[in-house]
Structure 1
């Protein structure tokens, strides 16, 4: 049980920080758009990466740093473009236009965005594959239980964030709130993009 709790605690603490993925989940949760699918894809992706780390994939990534380099520059390009898109959205949004009343984004496009936020983020490999993978070795035969705890934390976190965001819905009835959110998301995206390059 100690292994499960350790995995849950460490996994939860690693995904708690506001990042590109979390900001996207929060935004879609407020809009109540494909929330279940978004939360499920995020949590499932984490589970796959955690499983890979515990299975020894972390060692492979350490041996081939090119994998991290590709992910780093791919992630920078994606976050940079999405950040600019958020700023443009905030600037062009009409004061009379409320995103809550707008047509929803297609499920396919939403899933592709979620996958990009997850798999193009080098930090997710460092956290789930390398860090959790290496820590799991300390638990020996109980490593799978540690991994299961970390996977559980991802499901708890993302579904709590996605569905908990609706509490903020009354605030976002006002279009100005969306402008502020888009600006904040833009700042987060660009900050993370430049952090990936070590700038």
Structure 2
């Protein structure tokens, strides 16, 4: 049971901060006329997190990131990716605020593709999963390791469903899109901050 609770608390500490993935899921929830319309993004994000957690717990990702040049490439690509996503998020917030528009609802196919990209191309999330969840899982064996893994995966699924639901209901309340616009602006700044942090890891 201790391993299960540790997994929950650890996963929550990693998933709660605003980031590209969370912003996208929230916005799709806000843009969806019906909650079910946002499910492709929610399910894909949760599946990607599940995959990353399994790779981390099994030790495969740790082995890969032990190779210095691979880690450097991932960080470099990630910095560019996050800077771009921060720009897109900020521009989206600005255009919505000026035009009084609501967030754009993507098709199911685009939701799946975008959710996969912000999940699997996000180096901050990958490094957190490998460095924190993967390392922490080394303390457990047998049933405890299974409970730890299940709890961390479970948190991801519950979180993404809850985040999309929160976005959906806020979208209904915020008909002008003002609050969502401000949330996106703050999110863009946080995303840029993460990019700068990752850049510092490359430099120093």
Cα distance between partner residues in 1 of 2:8 and 2:188? 30
Q: Is the 8 A contact 1:171 1:177 kept in 2?
A: no
Deviation at 1:93, TM superposition (A): 4.1
Q: Are residues 1:86 and 2:89 paired?
A: yes
Q: Name 1:12's counterpart in structure 2.
A: 12
- Structure 2: any 5+ residue segments left out of the alignment? none
1:148 matched to 2:150: yes
CA deviation digits over 1:100-157, x for unaligned, max 9? 6x6x322222222211211111222222223212211212222122111111111111
**Against the structure 1 CA distance between its residues 144 and 194, is the aligned structure 2 distance closer, same or farther, given a 3 Å change threshold?**
same
What CA deviation, in whole Å up to 9, does each residue of 1:64-97 have, x standing for no partner? 1322222212222222222222333344447454
Q: How far apart, in 2, do the equivalents of 1:42 and 1:30 lie?
A: 16
Q: Is the Cα–Cα contact under 8 Å of residues 5 and 149 in structure 1 kept in the other structure?
A: yes
When normalised by structure 1's length, the TM-score is 0.86
1:132-171 correspondence runs (5 A):
132-141=133-142, 142-171=144-173
Structure 2 partner of 1:173: 175
CA distance, structure 2, for counterparts of residue 58 and residue 96 of structure 1: 44
CA distance in 1, matches of 2:67, 2:12: 28
2: CA distance between counterparts of 1:6 and 1:70?
31
Query: Which secondary structure state, in structure 2, belongs to the residue aligned with residue 139 of structure 1?
Result: coil
Note closer, same or farther for the CA distance 1:133–1:180 as it changes in structure 2 (3 Å cut).
closer
Deviation of 1:43 after TM superposition, in Å, equals: 1.3
CA contact under 8 A between 1:54 and 1:144: conserved in structure 2? no
Taking a change above 3 Å as real, the CA distance of residues 54 and 106 of structure 1, as seen in their structure-2 partners, is same
Residues 1:54 and 2:88 aligned together? no
Larger displacement relative to structure 2 (131-140 or 173-182)? 173-182
Q: Aligned residue for 1:44?
A: 47
